[in-house]
C-alpha cells in the first residue's frame, strides 16, 4: 500500500487502521439497517392484520345491522 500510494510506512499503517475501523463501522451500520428493516416489515405485517380485522368487523357489523333493522 505504501509504495502504491506513495505513503510512508507510518502513514500506510495508519490508513490500514482507518480502513479497518471504517469497515467495522460499515458492518455495524449494515446490521442496524437490517434490524430496522425487519422492524418495519414486522410493523407493516401487524398493521395489515389489524386493518383486515377492522375491515372484517365493519363488514360483519353492516351485515348484522341489515338483519336487525
| Model pLDDT, residue 56 | 85
pLDDT > 70 fraction of the chain, expressed in percent and rounded:
80
The Cα–Cα gap between 18 and 33 comes to: 22
Contacts of residue 31, Cβ cutoff 8 Å, sequence gap at least 6: none
The Cα–Cα gap between 1 and 15 comes to: 9
Among 30-39, 45-54, 58-67, the range of highest mean pLDDT: 30-39
The Cα–Cα gap between 20 and 1 comes to: 14
Tell me the whole-structure pTM to 2 decimals.
0.55
Give me the residue spans of the domains in the chain. Answer: 1-69
Q: How does the average pLDDT of the chain come out, rounded?
A: 84
The Cα–Cα gap between 16 and 18 comes to: 5
Amino acid at each position: 500500500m505504501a509504495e502504491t500510494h506513495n505513503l510512508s510506512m507510518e502513514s500506510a499503517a495508519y490508513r490500514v487502521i482507518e480502513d479497518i475501523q471504517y469497515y467495522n463501522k460499515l458492518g455495524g451500520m449494515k446490521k442496524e439497517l437490517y434490524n430496522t428493516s425487519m422492524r418495519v416489515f414486522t410493523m407493516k405485517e401487524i398493521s395489515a392484520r389489524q386493518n383486515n380485522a377492522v375491515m372484517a368487523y365493519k363488514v360483519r357489523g353492516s351485515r348484522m345491522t341489515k338483519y336487525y333493522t
